[in-house]
């Protein structure tokens, strides 16, 4: 089963789930033992296919660290925190976490876009 750790200990995902923000970006950093990479990918694929059927889901992309890294980054876009919260706290999703290898550590965190003139658009 996956272990959850806060990416930001001052504002963990459990606190972020109460925010009213739209749209929202989920960044989830996974680490896993090298022997468990395939099992992690299988579990993540199952969850991603389930999530994409949920209301408010927009898209996701999984990235892997290079040069033999066993660190993965999931980037997912949701219409709102409310939509993400409904999916993330559902019993079906919670039960699926048991499929992840025991070496898996997940660090989910929600973000909103920052507009900066001449650099980042809103």
How is residue 1 written in tokens?
Answer: 């089963």
Q: So what's the pLDDT on residue 73?
A: 98
| Candidate CATH numbers 3.40.980.10, 3.30.70.100, 3.90.550.10, 1.10.10.10; the one for domain 3-111 | 3.30.70.100
pLDDT in tens, 53-110: 999 999 999 999 999 999 999 999 999 999 999 999 999 999 999 999 999 999 999 9
- Is the pLDDT score of 122 beyond 70? no
Nearest-angstrom CA–CA distance, 81 and 87: 10
Give the start-to-end residue ranges of the domains of the chain.
Answer: 3-111
Give the CA angle between residues 59, 62, 64 to the nearest 5°. Answer: 165
């Amino acid at each position: 089963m996956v272990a959850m750790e806060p990416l930001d200990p001052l504002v963990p995902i459990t606190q972020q789930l109460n925010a009213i923000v739209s749209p929202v970006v989920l960044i989830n950093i996974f680490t896993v033992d090298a022997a468990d990479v395939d099992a992690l990918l299988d579990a993540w694929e199952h969850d991603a296919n389930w999530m994409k059927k949920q209301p408010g889901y927009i898209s996701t992309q999984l990235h892997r660290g290079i040069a033999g890294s066993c660190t993965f980054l999931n980037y997912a876009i949701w219409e709102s925190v409310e939509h993400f919260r409904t999916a993330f706290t559902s019993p079906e999703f919670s039960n699926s976490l048991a499929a992840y290898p025991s070496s898996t550590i997940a660090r989910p965190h929600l973000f909103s876009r920052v507009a900066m003139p001449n650099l980042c658009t809103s």
